[in-house]
Amino acid sequence: MLSFLIVPSSVILFGYAKEIVRLVYERGKFNAAAVKVTSETLQFYALGLLFFSQQYTFLQEAIMSTKIEKHLLFHLLLQYL
């Protein structure tokens, strides 16, 4: 479920990083060199966000499967006692 939100937003952040940073920050002493460095940082953040969403989904599934196994084991123990 979380991947449906994070994957498209990370793709958009990665693709339009320079434009987003330029729109938000480029004024005053924040020049084109600073935009380049900041947009590259935003692109790495977008990639990290993408990998985090995949890891979080795996972690969530692992936690749920252990909970289900515990409940099943507890149910079987109570049933035969």
Handedness of CA 68, 71, 74, 79 (dihedral sign): negative
Q: Is the dihedral of CA 22, 28, 32, 35 positive or negative?
A: negative
- pTM as predicted: 0.64
- For 10-29, how does the pLDDT look when each residue is reduced to its tens digit (9 = 90+)? 999 999 999 999 999 988 88
**Dihedral angle, C-alpha 38, 40, 44, 45, nearest 10 °:** 30
- What pLDDT is recorded for position 76? 80
Residues 14, 74: Cα–Cα separation, whole Å = 47
Judge residue 32's burial from the number of C-beta atoms within 10 Å of its C-beta, 0-12 exposed, 13-18 middle, 19 or more buried.
exposed
